[in-house]
Amino acid sequence: MKLGFIGLGIMGKAMALNLLQGGHTLYAHSRSGVTDDLLQAGALACNNPAEVASKADVIITMLPDTPDVDLVLFGQSGVAEGLTPNKIVIDMSSISPGATRDFAKRISALGCSYIDAPVSGGQVGATSASLTIMVGGDADVFESVKPLFQLMGKNITLIGDSGAGQMCKVANQVIVALNIEAVGEAMLLASAAGVDPERVRQALMGGFASSRVLEVHGERMVKRNFEPGFRIELHHKDLNLALTAAKEMNISLPNTAACQALFEECIAADGGQWDHSGMVQALEQKAGRKIA
């Protein structure tokens, strides 16, 4: 297939490489340029999103936030300018479910289809093509592009209509944030008691407390490795989406709000670029000690 990919950050670049390895033609664009390794793998650089959309039959976006997707789709030289009927736009960013439904209507008015397909799994999942992909949109369109998703992920689920994939991703981010906070508290508690937190982590991996967060981010906390797989500033954005949706529906998410406050403390300490496991550093600040 002739594919387009817009947004070549930590995850987008790896996802684009997996599509190229699947044998597809790939037209690519990023504000920072298309990297040499992508070009060497066969990617064809385009000057703007409109050029990508004019050349590709399926256009994928992987961008930081709702305004970025809006600009790439509908701004000057945006995707909408390059679309012709029957093309498919897939947004794999994590953005507002409400805005997603609006984008889908606007793309549909141009005679094209729109799928929201946010992902979970971070840089590791993007690189290993093991992402969880949560999809919203028409079932027939989903089936037509599912082989592309299978090149990027393993757990691929059609959740419902437009926006449903984004709402599922918001729910995912709530669970992940609360898990990170819980693992951080547990590791800090063990360390403060003079117990080796790494041995605690290894023991808990064999019990009911086991989780991917404990496995991956628990290790990051113990080893003090906060180089980003998924940045705090992006998870902070996702929890804003959750809290905004909760307010609109008049429901309370108290622990989500508490995790958001911890992320905000990290951002205030210039930690917006830390991996989201770095939330533990806000807990350490409160405790006056680090995990050791």
Can you tell me which residue has the tokens 């599922």? 168
Q: Find the catalytic residue in 13, 87, 169, 237.
A: 169
Note the pLDDT tens digit of each residue in 102-130. Answer: 999 999 999 999 999 999 988 889 999 99
State residue 94's pLDDT score.
94
State residue 242's pLDDT score.
96
Note the pLDDT tens digit of each residue in 46-97. Answer: 999 999 999 999 999 999 999 999 999 999 999 999 999 999 999 999 999 9
What global pTM score does this model have?
0.91
- Mean pLDDT to the nearest integer, 199-226: 97
Is residue 154 flagged as an active site residue?
Answer: no
Residue 190 reports pLDDT greater than 90:
yes
In 151-270, beta strands by DSSP E: 153-160
Give residue 260's pLDDT band: very low, low, confident or very high (50, 70, 90).
Answer: very high
State residue 229's pLDDT score.
85
Residue 36 reports pLDDT greater than 90:
yes
Compute, in degrees rounded to 10, the torsion defined by CA atoms 96, 8, 52, 89.
-30
CB burial readout 93-121, b (16+ within 10 A) else e:
bbbbbbbbbebbeebeebebbbbbbbbbb
160-230-23 Cα angle (round to 5): 65
State residue 144's pLDDT score.
98
CATH for 167-287, among 3.30.70.1280, 2.130.10.30, 3.30.420.40, 1.10.1040.10?
Answer: 1.10.1040.10
State residue 120's pLDDT score.
92
Q: How far apart are the first and last CA of the chain?
A: 51
Hey, how many other C-beta atoms are within 10 angstroms of the C-beta on 35? 17
As its CATH architecture, domain 2-160 has 3-Layer(aba) Sandwich (3.40)
CB distance 4 to 27 below 8 Å: yes
Hey, how many other C-beta atoms are within 10 angstroms of the C-beta on 30? 20
Q: Where are the domains of the chain?
A: 2-160, 167-287
CB distance 189 to 244 below 8 Å: no
Q: Are strands 58-61 and 2-6 parallel, antiparallel or unpaired?
A: parallel
Residue 10 reports pLDDT greater than 90:
no
More confident residue, 230 or 192: 192
Residue 292 reports pLDDT greater than 90:
no
